[in-house]
Amino acid sequence: MKVLKVDHIGIAVKSIDQAQKLYREILGLPDHGRETVAEQKVITAFFPVGDTEVELLESTAADGPVAKFIEKKGEGVHHIAFRVENIDAALEELKAQGVQLIDQTPRQGAGGARIAFLHPKATGGVLVELCERKDA
């Protein structure tokens, strides 16, 4: 598996409107707009920082994964995403090594990315996302 870089850090928030004040107004980061990812029941907003991004995640449903995360742990860092060269090959390699996966096959993520999550039980309690983008 070839990891190219940290693609983004996902932060679970109750309100993107409230949270973006820190990132856009106080830190002065550009806002690349919002996107709804219906399959994951979230609205996302990306803020580029150098060669990576901060992704704010707001749940669109009380039973969504981000809403459940906030209910259990409060707002804060939700996941770290690593950009990989080939997500299909990466998942096959991880399966062969016995790594516990949440996603057995890639799914569609924000910004046209193909994504898959590794189970936190296999990663020291950290939710890890693999991300493949066409502009890699």
Q: What integer pLDDT is reported at residue 53 of this predicted model?
A: 96
Q: Beta strands 128-132 and 76-84: pairing type? A: parallel
Q: Is the pLDDT of residue 136 over 70?
A: no
For the residues 117-127, what does the mean pLDDT come to?
Answer: 96
Q: Beta strands 128-132 and 114-118: pairing type? A: antiparallel
- Nearest residue to 40 (alpha-carbon basis) of 86, 95, 103, 122: 103
Q: Which two tokens stand for residue 113?
A: 């990315």
Q: Which two tokens stand for residue 38?
A: 């219906």
The kind and range of the H/E element at 130 are strand 128-132
For the residues 87-92, what does the mean pLDDT come to?
Answer: 97
* Confidence bin at 135 (pLDDT 50/70/90): confident
Determine if the pTM surpasses 0.85.
Answer: yes
Q: The CATH number of 3-132 is which of 3.40.50.720, 3.10.180.10, 3.40.309.10, 3.40.50.2300?
A: 3.10.180.10
CB-based burial label for 97 (10 Å; 0-12, 13-18, 19+): exposed
Domain range list for the chain: 3-132
Q: What integer pLDDT is reported at residue 48 of this predicted model?
A: 95
Radius of gyration of the chain (CA): 15
For the residues 100-119, what does the mean pLDDT come to?
Answer: 95
Whether the Cβ atoms of residue 79 and residue 117 lie closer than 8 Å to each other: yes
Q: Which two tokens stand for residue 119?
A: 């189970």
pLDDT tens string 15-27 = 999 999 999 999 9
**Residues, the chain:** 136
DSSP-derived 3-state class of residue 71: helix
